[in-house]
Structure 1
Amino acid sequence: MSSSLATLDALPSIVDFYANYWNKRPFLVRNAIDQAVMDGLITPDELAGLSMEETARARMVSRKDWACQFGPFTEEDFNTAGKPPWSLLVQNVEQFHPDTATLLRAFNFAPRWLMDDIMASFSTKGGTIGGHIDSYHVFLVQGQGSRRWTIGREPVIDEEYIDGLDLKILKDPIDGNTVEVTSGDILYIPPHFAHEGTTLDDALTFSVGFLGPKLSELYDAYGQHLADHDALDHRYAGEGLSADSSGFILSIDAVETLRDHLSHSLSTPAFCEWLASFFTGSASEDTAQYSKRDDTLSLAAFTEALQARAGLIKPAYVKFALIPSPKGTYSLGFNRKTFDINDDALAVILSLMKEDAVTTNDTPALLDHLDLLFTLYNHQALEWH
């Protein structure tokens, strides 16, 4: 099957996506996002305002010399940006602008537990950040304006970059397919496919990125989890050693015992529970984690509100991770915390994961899991609707 750009009539089904596109082939879908969602996305002026906040990760790129300046910015920075084409890029916009986060609901066919963030980029006519490759999957949703994209036909194996620049810009032009996109169009680009976008008129683009952890990150994070839970952090005591491992020699049996010692820690229920929590933490240290809300409710007040037919909804910017547990239950991860979910609670959680309002009128089982819902609400995983 060719890996060059495919043009589809609609976003692919779940089966089609993983069989033919995920990690395999880029695609383009025209007018793929509902206009109501497009109308709610962050505007260029709002994005500029967000880039002035201390908590936002923002950068500005000038095409003139490929200089990269980091925020927070001031009004003076925009006043002096001048006429040469420039681009403003802001990370984690879904955490600051809930209406932009609703864009994520279009990508339920993708593994949203791997979703990193929505980066919004505004660029003036001619603006670009050059030809580059990413180590993550990205869906490029065109907001206002139009852009011309060139996407490589094959993954890049040994990339070469221009020396002496702040940015990693590919040394050679991209040999690939060129398309123009307008409002509501979506481009999917798998990891390591070279791509370059150039603004045809002032434009706003939303990059929905899906980034998996490195093996070293998994080992480091799980090792810290074991260190934090002494009952899980078993010490190697030299089990099964023989004369073959005397002195400074490790026998093959000793090596295999150590390998088994490590493997055992990955086959326990504790690993699944940790993994559910790991994938729901923010990739950015600068992005605030969800803490208890200022106006926490008592269990009695929460129950009263729920019985009054108030709807509960999981906001699109809230990330869940649900994993079957070897114990026969499920582990629900949220904000680096884990909750044990039985089969009865599973139906309620699956309803909430659709990100539509759920009430006791349509889902009476809500009242059977008040402690769980109460805790999730007070930690800002759920909101009233």
Structure 2
Amino acid sequence: MRNPLSKTITQIKPSGIRKFFDLVTEMNDPDVISLGVGEPDFDTPWFIREEGIYSLEKGRTFYTSNSGLKELREEISHYLERHCNVTYDYQHEILVTVGGSEAIDIGLRAMLDPGDEVLIPQPSYVSYEPCTILAGGVPVIINLKEKNEFRLTKEELLAAITPKTKVLIMPFPNNPTGAIMEKKDLEDIARICIEKDIFVMSDEIYGALTYGADHVSIASLPGMKERTILINGFSKAFAMTGWRLGYACGPKDIIEQMIKIHQFAIMCAPTTSQYAAVQALKYGDAEVEKMRQSYDQRRKFLVHTFRKMGLECFEPFGAFYIFPSIKSLNMTSDEFAQKLLQAEKVAVVPGTAFGDCGEGFLRISYAYSLEELKTATDRIARFVDYVRNHPEGETK
């Protein structure tokens, strides 16, 4: 029988994040603490849930416009003007999607022709590379460096550009490192993109979660709105992961083509989620700030704790992850994560899940209670101490 599978899809590796999530699920052990999944531990604020319930009670269960509820697109425009100093026309420049992940997928499909190169700074979110391949593009990896706080430098960008370069992905604030790009960093990148005529996909899903420095969108810089697709959503800042709602903003001609793909593949984002999201944008700033302050407390605790263990750990200023180095322990990231789970029942994600340059690092999410983090880090410290005292590599 003929092989029914696409060569392209069979050659794409499954998510390294889900690998460890599935291991925890299979263990079915209540004592396991998982610090692996990037999902807020907060419930969606009640007034947002209440609006979703009310929309169901009122029978608002029909399709919306392909591009999303008019009221929601208006509020997205207001929100970005308020928080990012960039204005979008809700009628032509905003598309509501099924999570930020769909926006990434259809944005790349709308922009790429076969052979177009996409610059992907890594470590970064697991979807960029496979989505580029599925869209017929060629991923070109830029390895970010800890000495630069995992920021993209102008030198690294210039070295990666070729005549085939079409899109640069900007994954900041960054998953998994927690790195951010400040305005001065973005200005260097923007000048190069304009000079070399490169389009940007700016994934700003963690934009509301920064510490010590306000988030700056590259789309707000002169000459960049017309060449940037801004990706954002409700999962992280508003604790709405299961509502599956995101959005893309950008030039009318690109958004029109994204809507076409969305139209045929999805139809529209979930109606109930869209009504709830209107309330989130209108009245959610105070709730987001409460969650951000809690994440900040946990962030400081983890950075201090890992440094106390003797593990190098640069201070992240965005998202809700830290990215400690385990290079001093002479173990691969995967080996460390596997043995830690077996020995101490703590699940973390190897840095290699986010690109080869993540070797020697771990992603630790602090979207968990401080009590859980204290218990988990006590176990990690015990494991690190054991590894240091048994360099021959015995299994605990």
TM-score in terms of structure 2 length: 0.26
Quick check: which one's strand share is greater? 1
Query: Which structure's residues are more often helix, by fraction?
Result: 2
TM-score by length of 1: 0.27
Higher relative contact order (CA 8 A, sep 6+): 2
Report the structure number with the largest CA radius of gyration: 1
